[in-house]
Amino acid sequence: MTDVEVKGAARSARRRGTPVPARLALAAALLGFFMICLDATAVNVALPAIGRSLHGATDGQQWVLDGYTVPFAALLISAGAVSDRAGARRMLGWGLVVFTAASAGCGLAPALWALIGCRIVQGCAAAVTLPASLSLVRQAFGEPAARARAVAVWSSGGAAAIAAGPVLGGILTSAAGWRAIFFINLPVGVVTLAMAARAPRSPRLAAPLDLAGQATAVLGLAALAFGVISGGADGFASTASLAALGVAVLASAAFIVVESKASQPMVPLALLRSRAVAACLLIGFSINVAFYGIAFVLSLYFQRVLGESAVTAGLLFLPMTGLLTVASLASARVSARWGHQLPLRLGLSTSTLGMVLLVFLRGRTGVEIALVPAGAGLGFALPSLTFVLLDSLPAAQAGLAGGLFNAARQTGGALAVAVFGALISISFSAGMRQALLISVALLAASTAAAFAVFRSAVRDVVRSSSRAGRGRSRRGRSGSRRPARPSACARPATTGR
């Protein structure tokens, strides 16, 4: 086919528009992603109401959040392989069915233990839904430009849910009670399932599963969260806390042994030896510690200390959550002109400054001022962080890196709720200050890593470009056709070292 024919076919395809099944696949994936992200943030502002209704103390309220995020984080890496083996459309459908049913169980929960149990089921379903929704979008849009636009639309669903979650959660809690947060998933889930049923069929791929690695990962993360939360409630010298933390240590050691011996490990340990990959995972972990941990603490601060209603508490988060989407769009424009390292470094530095301000500022106005740089900085850094991670690895490892990156982020959110909740259960004022200082320390370390680790990659690119230029000059003078030596930038691009 000639270039003229190719261009004519492309114009004809654009005129015909996107096929209906592909649009339905995108709509189903978008709504599914929106639902699972919404339930990660909307519940925060309802925690005081849940505690009063179901007679739950701070540790019980922590498990309402971590019952969702712990299985979400632990199952996320293997869920992508399950989606490939069974087919993205099928797994998206099953994930939505289970998530919707678990939402109904949450709304009908007669006691706190029942609510936490249904939240665990929700987290498992969310771990399946997330990679399946993205895979469905990638399969439904074959043309690269259309696929890029579709993935961007899909990503906007998560950002919109994070921004709308606290506000919507506050409105529903004040108007109809906290149970409405979960009941609203029922009609959305039914509509999403109907759309997914008309999406294109997904192929089944031979993706390996690492069941031993998955089991040790779930056990280690769950035991660690349980040990920290029970330690905050009963003291870290209690039998339950010490036993759980001991199990977490043993499970973590078993995970390392299993992954080092597995022929097809869930997490290749060699990947973690890459400085660029390790830095990206640290930064992603720190970002979620700061975001979800502070959102948990501030939701209680707004209502317990300042005496605000659930609606007002949700609205008070807008300076942080609302700026995430705006800053992400601005980050894309800046990185297109100046590279991804500038928004990454600038965003982390700005967010660190916002967290420092939160340490010293108190009251409604002070917190609102500090949340502006905190939220804008996180939104500005995160898109570039994802691109830097993918650029540090071969294309064949992009899916694994994405799963590992999102698992690290969700783990950060789960541990932040566990640790920060333990701190404020002892003394709210002192615990809140300590939580903020931990966030500052992690973001400061992430900022230092962004400057130190990725600076060498830039230097290697500059040096390789200079050598390439000298090589072309020598070939021009001598007429030699001897191929140039591979450039030094190949190593950072493929291994991240």
How far is 56 from 113, CA to CA, in rounded Å?
9
> Are the C-beta atoms of residues 72 and 126 closer than 8 Å to each other?
yes
Last residue of a domain, one of 238, 265, 292: 265
Residue 10 lies in a domain: no
Residue 480 lies in a domain: no
Q: Identify whether residues 414 and 428 lie together within a single domain.
A: yes
Across the chain, mean pLDDT equals 80
> Are the C-beta atoms of residues 129 and 99 closer than 8 Å to each other?
yes
How far is 220 from 346, CA to CA, in rounded Å?
34
Residue 476 lies in a domain: no
Sign of CA dihedral 249, 250, 254, 257: positive
Q: Identify whether residues 399 and 315 lie together within a single domain.
A: yes
CATH no. for residue 323?
A: 1.20.1250.20
Residue 2 lies in a domain: no
Q: Is the pLDDT of residue 395 over 70?
A: no
How far is 68 from 124, CA to CA, in rounded Å?
8
Question: 173 is written with which tokens?
Answer: 């809690």
Residue 223 lies in a domain: yes
Q: Identify whether residues 284 and 245 lie together within a single domain.
A: no
Question: 372 is written with which tokens?
Answer: 């502006």
What is the pLDDT at residue 44?
Answer: 86
If one counts every other C-beta atom within 10 angstroms of the C-beta of residue 3, the result is 7
Find tokens 């249904």 and name the residue: 118
The answer to whether the predicted template modeling score (pTM) of the entire model surpasses 0.85 is no
Element (H, E) at 179: none
Q: Identify whether residues 134 and 280 lie together within a single domain.
A: no
Residue 496 lies in a domain: no
Q: Identify whether residues 252 and 283 lie together within a single domain.
A: no
For 326-361, b where at least 16 C-beta lie within 10 A, e where not — what string? Answer: ebbebbeebbeeebbbebbbbbbbbbbbbbbbbbee
Q: What is the dihedral of CA 492, 493, 496, 497, to 10 degrees?
A: -20
Q: Identify whether residues 85 and 180 lie together within a single domain.
A: yes
Q: Is the pLDDT of residue 462 over 50?
A: no
Q: Identify whether residues 303 and 440 lie together within a single domain.
A: yes
Lowest mean pLDDT of 39-53, 101-115, 317-331, 465-479, name the range. Answer: 465-479
Average pLDDT over residues 209-229: 84
Q: Identify whether residues 331 and 391 lie together within a single domain.
A: yes
Q: Identify whether residues 186 and 42 lie together within a single domain.
A: yes
Residue 453 lies in a domain: yes
Task: Give me the percent of the chain exceeding a pLDDT of 90.
Answer: 21
- Cβ burial, residue 264 (10 Å; 0-12/13-18/19+): exposed
What is the pLDDT at residue 477?
Answer: 44
Total domain count for the chain?
Answer: 3
Q: Identify whether residues 332 and 434 lie together within a single domain.
A: yes
Range of the domain at 84: 18-201
Residue 484 lies in a domain: no
Q: Identify whether residues 253 and 326 lie together within a single domain.
A: no
Closest CA to 83 of 137, 36, 26, 136: 136
Average pLDDT over residues 41-51: 89
What is the pLDDT at residue 208?
Answer: 67
Q: Is the pLDDT of residue 344 over 70?
A: yes
Most confident of 382-386, 394-398, 433-437, 485-489: 433-437
**How many Cα atoms sit within 13 Å of 497 on the Cβ side?**
7
Question: 224 is written with which tokens?
Answer: 């660690």
Q: Tell me the Ramachandran region of residue 209: left when phi exceeds 0, alpha when psi lies from -120 to 50, beta otherwise.
A: beta
The type of residue at 193 is L
Q: Is the pLDDT of residue 18 over 60?
A: no
Q: Is the pLDDT of residue 405 over 70?
A: yes
Task: Kindly report, residue by residue over 162-196, the tens digit of the pLDDT.
Answer: 778 888 999 999 888 999 999 999 999 999 998 88
Q: Is the pLDDT of residue 472 over 50?
A: no
How far is 320 from 101, CA to CA, in rounded Å?
31
What is the pLDDT at residue 399?
Answer: 60
Length of the chain: 497
Last residue of a domain, one of 237, 265, 293: 265
Q: Is the pLDDT of residue 46 over 60?
A: yes
Task: Kindly report, residue by residue over 65-77, the tens digit of the pLDDT.
Answer: 889 988 888 888 7
pLDDT band at 99 (very low <50, low <70, confident <90, very high): very high
Longest dimension (CA), the chain: 84
Last residue of a domain, one of 183, 201, 219: 201
Q: Identify whether residues 362 and 283 lie together within a single domain.
A: yes
Sign of CA dihedral 210, 243, 292, 178: positive
Question: 407 is written with which tokens?
Answer: 């698992």
pLDDT band at 361 (very low <50, low <70, confident <90, very high): confident
Q: Is the pLDDT of residue 444 over 90?
A: yes
pLDDT band at 13 (very low <50, low <70, confident <90, very high): very low
What is the pLDDT at residue 403?
Answer: 73
